[in-house]
Structure 1
Amino acid sequence: MYFDACFARLFSFSGLAVSVALLITTTTASAVDLIDVRDFESLSQLAAERSQREYEPAPELPEPLASWQYDDYMKAKYRPERATWFDQGLPFWLETFHRGFVQTDLVELFTLNPSPSGDPISQRIAFNTNDFVYDAPLNAEEIPPAGHAGFRIVGPFPNRPDAQEMLSFIGSSYFRGRSGDTIYGASARGLAINIAMMQEEEFPDFRAFWIQMPAADSDQIAILAFMDSPSLTGAYRFRLVPGNAVTRVKVQADVYYRDRPEKIALAPLTSMWMWGDGLKGPPKDNRPSVHDSDGLLIQTGPNEWRWRAFARQSYPSVTSTEVESLHGFGLIQRNRAFYHYDDHNARYDKRPSVWIKPDSPWPNGRIELLELPGAHEGIDNLAAYWLPPEEESAPDESANETDPSVESAANPGSAVAAIDTVSEPNGATEPPHPSLQFAYEVSFFAGDPPEHNVLGRATNLSVTRPKNADEPIEMEIRFAGPVLRGLPAEHPPSIQSNAIAGEICEEELERTDEGDWILHLGVTLAENNSGERPVELSLQLISEDQPVSETFGYLLPPAEPEFVYPAVYTRQE
């Protein structure tokens, strides 16, 4: 389903609109146009120059595309044989997305083709109605030259004969990938601005892409993207390396502020969790779990892992995890058993985990998790992202302030530097230095990251609420892993636990025949919590003063959250 990313625009909270100070347009010594982009350096120059101009919104979607409904959009079908590079014996080719319905964004597409001189030649991919089949009542002659909504990379995974979709860019700065062993699920974004605040979120858009023509024997493909928004511009480079077990996308970015945002989030991820472990679904839907991801995983050291299982509240919730050294984080689809979902159509058991790994650890920031109630499984209701140190994220007029969480031109190895322009004697203005520079890898694979293979992992969770409010809430958390399997029943690990707004009144560990350990908990509310606040739980298994499990975190609602489900779940109008 290609609409999840666009529906995820609903992440923004209602509130006051952001006031953006627009900069006066300046004349640069050598302006770069879209057709002039050849590599990342020229793209970064373009972004720098555009940051000195006033932001120009994209043109609105014309009719009849603006009036299309879902069924109309699905009747405009791309012809695979019309794909760019389809018949040239190359490992990858490009298919475009039609505009219409919720796909309102306009993007310009270019290919970068080799030339005898060695410099790539930029060639525009023009919109053409001949690229699509329009089923009745759509009429190709009534379709305006509206341009592209996005594109996807198609080709065979290694040693597999059939061509598959590998990576797609559609909607704002969203992109979605998969490995050969998985299907599409959670999405990544280029950047998030003012997310999870009491004001409207600003969504930066990828406005243009340049896709480098691969060699016939290449196992990867490079993509350049220009980002634009009222607050900033950006130059992005993506390098896709598809694989059957793991698909990797290397990301490099130069970001230039027009007006420094109040809050900027790096490497944001979005996903969906409707119900599953700890929360029952609607009475007339028999699927035990419905989600693209079942937890947030954070790596803070070589053998330091934190896991937060999702718990959908009936209201928006934001949790924050302070991190001194971020080695990686991601939205993980840990449970791979079909019976856990029992859905032959959605195949949630095949959805990928999405993992962010900085090129070098990002220090002294925090991971924020936004969980929204969500209306149905077609709408993303989760977001996780990295925030640089708070004091560096707020607007500041100092000239050379830096933030050590990402690289900057002013301070290599750190990340945020204020825009500094240099005036030339003739009155021209040199392009500014990047406000932000960062690089990371985003991976798509099944289950947990391969390096998280020693410590015990929380694989199952159950919550049983008592009929009598005076009795404790009962929880069971199952931990599995090589270290735990080596512990005999007569020497169980100890439990290091903490509760906020509640108390853990019972703790008991039980070893299974498989060598897993089931932790039985009893949780009561704190005296100052009458049931209006969830209980924040954190615990870890310890043996001989060493951790033998990841740190488990959970936001426990005192009562079963109530949701108004649509008719597709309740079977009622």
Structure 2
Amino acid sequence: MKMIMPAVYGWRARVSARRGRSRRSAGTLVLQLLALTVALIDGPRTTAAEFSFELLQQRAKDVAAQPYAPTVRRVPAWVAALTYEQHRAIHFDHDHAWWQAEGLPFQLQFFHPGWLFNEPVQIHEVAAGEEQLIRFDPALFNYGPNRLPEAVPADMGFAGLRVHHALNRPDEMSELAVFLGASYFRSVARGLHYGLSARGLALNSGEPVPEEFPRFTEFWIERPVAGAAAVTVHALLDSPSVAGAYRFVITPGDATVMQVKVALYFRKVEAVIGLAPLTSMFLHGENTGWSRDDYRPEVHDSDGLLMHTGAGEWIWRPLSNPSNARASAFADRSPKGFGLLQRDRTFAHYDDLEANSHLRPSAWVEPVGDWGEGAVRLVELPTPDETNDNIVACWVPARRPVPGEPLSYEYRLHWYGTEGGRPPGGYVAATREGAVLHQPARRRMVVDFAGPGLETAADGEPLKAVVSVGEGARLIGVGDVQRIAPTGLWRAVFEIAADGSRRPIELRCYLRRGDQTLTETWSNLWTP
């Protein structure tokens, strides 16, 4: 099995989000005059029709109708051989930030090829319906201590782009979103740090055959008007199996929302197709035990998968770092949403001054329209450290696409902190398990619940934990639900005994008072 693509842009080493200065820059004017001069010589890259998503969709259809042609690499060998540290030392000169001189509410900066990112992309600005190529220029970058063996080619292309906005302070531009590597992208909301990522498409993720990684090969960014509250990014995706058109309307705030519209055209349909995929990292947490070799109690970018089914049920699946790769499917029809969440926001639970894991965003996929039948798929891969993303969540449609016909869908992708993505009642706050004294065949499960639906629980009929155990184990007993006075949480405890088959066992638990369900359903896949 091919591992999930390593967390990009030094994801785990955490390339810090550089802050652009908000002052007007003569460098930007020089850069744009250079682009205009080239355009007068070569002619602008325009079409008979104004640029639009529909035009991009037709381009994707035309691309898919032709045999797949890999991107021609214009990156010299010495650039491709740059190490992580060497690549990290190359910085875009923020004085050249696109749209900085005009004082627009969004700015663009670009990534230099090298290290993992050696398949360049083409980036265009769209203004008044016309698209204009933004040309690569080595003068846009500071190369730091790197000693360059030869001149950097002027036609190399960029590795990716990032969008800046005054997200946290009105006088300071900071990173809002990044598109870099294959079809990976990520974003933040106000006050948060980068964490998990999203992708345009997942093909064969978690399957025993090599995973295919489609790429965003070109981008078109619409020039925002003064005072704009959102910025629009278009992308063309391509791979041996599929070509596609994407539109991202990005609205920053306490929760940053991306309105995503997609049209895919398949050349062949041989893969497990994952729509709206999210990619994250889980090393260890309170549900897996504390590593003796790691001073940090917990290390993860996300601690669980939350689903809101078409039938209205909320389901929480704690993440794990399994000893062997595993994939779970949660069948559904017309899902209301799913996401990878970082629910634990307590710094002391991570004790990491560099990673600030308590400030990682959650990401929630909210389908627009009816997505029909399918399943939320969760892939968990073993990882020895936090340098690789080992978690994938996506929607796998039951209906297979037909080559030549568009697979079209929309969704809203929410990046947020503590707000949103929770059921209206109670939710799982922590999961723990442990041995039962003098009973080696038994295991004790401890699930803590919190939420507004439980705040008045102490005044009424006692709460009951409803527990179900799948094949491979039997339920020994369920204890009384107890309130934890110091924290205000409610704790359910039960014991199970495995049958010795060592098969994975599905466990479920929720809290109820009388006939009223008060919490989401805790769903855990336990391997004896």
Normalised-by-shorter TM-score class: 0.7 to 0.9
Query: Which residue of 226, 232, 251 corresponds with 1:222?
Result: 232
- 1:83 maps to 2:63: no
The equivalent of 1:333 in structure 2 is 342
Q: What amino acid sits opposite 1:277 in the alignment?
A: E
CA contact (8 A) 1:7 1:379 kept: no
- 1:101 maps to 2:115: yes
CA contact (8 A) 2:306 2:341 kept: yes
How far apart are 1:493 and its partner, in Å? 2.1
Q: Deviations over 1:481-523 (max 9, x none)?
A: 1121222277222222221222221211112336531011212
CA contact (8 A) 1:332 1:448 kept: no
How far apart are 1:349 and its partner, in Å? 0.2
The equivalent of 1:442 in structure 2 is 413
Q: Deviations over 1:443-481 (max 9, x none)?
A: 10013525x353211101222124756352122111011
Give the whole-Å Cα distance in 1 for the aligned partners of 2:46 and 2:439.
67
Unaligned 5+ residue runs, structure 1?
A: 9-32, 115-119, 394-415, 420-431, 559-573
Greater shift, 358-367 or 486-495, is seen at: 486-495
Give the whole-Å Cα distance in 2 for the aligned partners of 1:34 and 1:173.
24
Equivalent residues, number: 485
Query: Which residue of 157, 160, 178 corresponds with 1:150?
Result: 160
Query: Which residue of 496, 506, 518 corresponds with 2:491?
Result: 518
Which residues of 2 match residues 414-493 of structure 1 at below 5 A? 416=401, 418-419=402-403, 434-447=405-418, 449=420, 452-466=422-436, 468=438, 470-488=440-458, 491-493=461-463
The equivalent of 2:77 in structure 1 is 63
Structure 2 SS opposite 1:43: helix
The equivalent of 1:503 in structure 2 is 474
Q: Deviations over 1:191-223 (max 9, x none)?
A: 111222221111111000000000011010111
Which residues of 2 match residues 5-404 of structure 1 at below 5 A? 5=8, 35-36=46-47, 38-60=51-73, 61-114=75-128, 120-139=129-148, 141-145=150-154, 146-157=156-167, 160-243=170-253, 245-301=254-310, 303-389=312-398, 392-393=399-400
CA 317–3 in structure 1, closer or farther in 2 if over 3 Å, else same: closer
Give the whole-Å Cα distance in 2 for the aligned partners of 1:162 and 1:7.
24
Structure 1 SS opposite 2:348: helix
Q: What amino acid sits opposite 1:299 in the alignment?
A: H
Give the whole-Å Cα distance in 1 for the aligned partners of 2:286 and 2:521.
18
The equivalent of 2:523 in structure 1 is 553
Give the whole-Å Cα distance in 2 for the aligned partners of 1:34 and 1:209.
13
How far apart are 1:251 and its partner, in Å? 0.4
Give the whole-Å Cα distance in 2 for the aligned partners of 1:471 and 1:194.
37
Give the whole-Å Cα distance in 2 for the aligned partners of 1:59 and 1:82.
27
CA contact (8 A) 1:172 1:205 kept: yes
Give the whole-Å Cα distance in 1 for the aligned partners of 2:503 and 2:439.
15
Give the whole-Å Cα distance in 2 for the aligned partners of 1:470 and 1:137.
58
Greater shift, 103-112 or 493-502, is seen at: 493-502
Greater shift, 464-473 or 378-387, is seen at: 464-473
Q: What amino acid sits opposite 1:503 in the alignment?
A: R
CA contact (8 A) 1:5 1:187 kept: no
CA 7–384 in structure 1, closer or farther in 2 if over 3 Å, else same: farther
How far apart are 1:298 and its partner, in Å? 0.2
Greater shift, 39-48 or 54-63, is seen at: 54-63
Normalization by structure 2: what TM-score? 0.87
- 1:533 maps to 2:506: no
Q: Deviations over 1:353-411 (max 9, x none)?
A: 0000011242321111000011321210000000111xx33xxxxxxxxxxxxxxxxxx
How far apart are 1:74 and its partner, in Å? 1.3
CA 305–211 in structure 1, closer or farther in 2 if over 3 Å, else same: same
How far apart are 1:49 and its partner, in Å? 0.9
Greater shift, 255-264 or 460-469, is seen at: 460-469
Runs of 4 or more above 6 Å deviation: none
Normalization by structure 1: what TM-score? 0.81
CA 524–35 in structure 1, closer or farther in 2 if over 3 Å, else same: farther
Give the whole-Å Cα distance in 1 for the aligned partners of 2:45 and 2:181.
20
The equivalent of 1:29 in structure 2 is none
Give the whole-Å Cα distance in 2 for the aligned partners of 1:546 and 1:216.
51
Q: Deviations over 1:210-260 (max 9, x none)?
A: 0000001101011111011111110111100011x1000000011111112
CA 111–486 in structure 1, closer or farther in 2 if over 3 Å, else same: same
How far apart are 1:35 and its partner, in Å? 4.8
How far apart are 1:105 and its partner, in Å? 2.4
CA contact (8 A) 1:75 1:138 kept: no
**Identity of counterpart residues, as a percentage?**
32
Q: Deviations over 1:80-111 (max 9, x none)?
A: 11111111110001000111011122110000
Give the whole-Å Cα distance in 2 for the aligned partners of 1:258 and 1:4.
28
